[in-house]
Amino acid sequence: MLAIKDRWHVVNASIPGLADAARISIKECQEALKVLSSPDEFSRTQDFDGRRIKPCDGGWVILNGDLYRNKMNTDERREYQRIKQKEYRERNKSVKSCLQSSQQFTHTDTDTDTDTKDLKKNKQKEKPISKKKKSTPFSQESIEFFLAEKLDGRIRERLPDEPPTNLQVWAKDIDLIIRIDKRHPEDISRIIDWAHDHDPPGQDFAWSNQIKSPKKLRKHFSMLKSQARPRPQKKSLLQHNAEMLAKEVGN
């Protein structure tokens, strides 16, 4: 149910459809729904008397959906730190290996130097053959691929019939946002969620309709970040008058 819920934590499904998605029988599905919608005195979260879901028109509402979303954001940060630590160790390992190799193959023989010079001259005479470098595909465990997959998932929450996405191309655009624009992956993840969760009410313009690719995200990132930043609340006139009166009484 967490996998197919929308951004309002609503699971739009029927009991037969839910049973088919979970690969269980209809009877087992009914029993599971009964347990999830019943009070649980042993639940670690006692909100709603321990209930996990409640029926609504067209399906069920996941009552503690915000809790799971916050937990996922924490897991994202841990996964990012784990990947970066792994990449750091691999880079250090390759640097040490190169240093050891260079020390073992130091050229001291004069004949070898002469042969090397001849080879260089012959190479200069040959016409260079231009070859395009093939771009290395991003691993599915990389943070770039993860953020591309996350943006695709948030878009499909509203538009499930969108054509298939080339996540490798999207991961390349995410890499530009991180490497060239110097944006932190945690900020990118937060802005993706904000753009799809904060559509202004009663207006035709909505960020969720604009941010449909990493290129659009990169183009509007500065504006999105400034709007997503929490603004300090202004004091009301009543609060201001109360503070001024308190100062006068104190004096």
Provide DSSP, 149-216. HHHHHHHHHH-TTPPPP-HHHHHHHHHHHHHTS---HHHHHHHHHHHHH-PPTT-S--HHHH--SHHH
Full-prediction pTM beyond 0.85? no
Q: Residue 179: is its pLDDT beyond 80?
A: yes
Q: pLDDT value at position 237?
A: 63
pLDDT at 240 over 80: no
pLDDT of residue 90: 83
Whether 58 shows a pLDDT value over 50: the answer reads yes
What is the structure's pLDDT at 183?
A: 93
pLDDT tens, residue by residue, 61-107: 888 777 777 666 666 767 777 887 788 788 777 766 766 665 665 54
Average pLDDT of the residues in 46-74: 79
- Would you say residue 209 has pLDDT above 60? yes
What separation, in Å, do the N-terminal and C-terminal C-alpha atoms of the chain show? Answer: 62
Tokens coding 96? 């040490």
More confident residue, 153 or 80: 153
Average pLDDT, the chain: 79
Q: What pLDDT score was predicted for residue 37?
A: 87
Question: Percent of the chain beyond pLDDT 70?
Answer: 71
Task: Output the pLDDT for position 204.
Answer: 58
Q: Which residue(s) pair with 60 in the sheet?
A: 11, 55
Domain boundaries defined on the chain: 10-63, 143-228
The DSSP secondary-structure symbol of 50 reads: G
Answer whether residue 187 shows pLDDT above 80. yes
